[in-house]
Amino acid sequence: MNEESAEKLRRLFRSFNRFMLLMWRLGLGRWINLWPEVGGRIMVITHTGRRTGLKRYTPVNYTILDGDVYCTVGFGAISDWYRNIRANPNVEVWLPDGWWAGVAEEIPPEEETFLPALRQVLIASGFAAPLFGVRPGSMTDDELRALTADYRLIRIRRTEARTGPGGPGDLAWVWPLATFLLLPLALRRCRRPRRGG
């Protein structure tokens, strides 16, 4: 893939990520994970900006192995969220089963668990890996290693469950308000007599 194509894909994923973050904030995180074979398993990782100190939110594909959360940095070391967690490994993850604080660590490629865990994350990515020409379910280890040479693998060890404001579903209040405002309009429209032709 040339640099221009890679940049177009990065822009596409940035737009997709904004949409995914909104879905999580609206309380629809479980729903977007209902069909992982197609849409992938998507969580949100909350990290701290290395320059600004502000909270940042990044939707990523993930898998869970032996209780730990694994995700991959598909765009490699240039990814802002990757550089942020290298500077401050204390993160939070929004998963379908809850909101967790945790500590992120990079798994080096030479570690024995690297390639099997990377393969599982890529399988859990649904359409994303094949979009980049990676077929994790059918590639040999050597093929997978060659195509993912720039990828980084992150393991997040969950430390405690989180609750309170600022987590997944923080915009769920929109649903009752929208229903309250739009339902009378919809009912009025349904009651309006149709004009004869």
pTM of the model: 0.81
State the average pLDDT for the chain: 86
Could you tell me the pLDDT band of residue 104, with boundaries at 50, 70 and 90?
very high
**Ordered DSSP codes for the chain:** --HHHHHHHHHHHHHHHHHHHHHHHTT-HHHHTS-HHHH--EEEEEEE-TTT--EEEEEEEEEEETTEEEEEETTGGG-HHHHHHHH--EEEEEETTEEEEEEEEEEPTTSTTHHHHHHHHHHTTTTHHHHTT--TTT--HHHHHHHTTT-EEEEEEEEEE--STTSTTTTTTHHHHHHHHHHHHHHHHHHSPPPP-
Whether the predicted pLDDT of 112 surpasses 80: yes
Q: What pLDDT digit, counting tens, does each position of 36-88 carry?
A: 777 789 999 999 999 999 999 999 999 999 999 999 997 778 889 999 999 99
CA-to-CA dists, residue 62 to 57, 65, 72, 156, angstroms: 15, 10, 7, 10
pLDDT for 19 equals 85
pLDDT for 177 equals 64
In the block, residue with structure tokens 């992938």: 40
pLDDT for 43 equals 95
Do 113 and 62 meet the contact criterion of CB atoms below 8 Å apart? no
pLDDT for 9 equals 65
pLDDT for 173 equals 75
Q: What burial class does residue 17 get, using C-beta atoms within 10 Å of its C-beta: 0-12 exposed, 13-18 middle, 19+ buried?
A: middle
Distance of CA 1 to the CA centre of its chain: 23
pLDDT winner (highest mean) among 6-20, 73-87, 165-179: 73-87
Closest-CA residue to 153 (of 79, 87, 76): 76
Closest-CA residue to 45 (of 67, 65, 70): 70
Whole-angstrom distance, CA of residue 159 vs CA of residue 161: 7
Distance of CA 41 to the CA centre of its chain: 7
Q: What pLDDT digit, counting tens, does each position of 146-160 carry?
A: 999 999 999 999 999
Domains of the chain by residue range: 3-170
pLDDT for 37 equals 78
Using a pLDDT cut of 90, give the percent of the chain over it.
51
pLDDT for 194 equals 62
- For 3-170, CATH gives 2.30.110.10
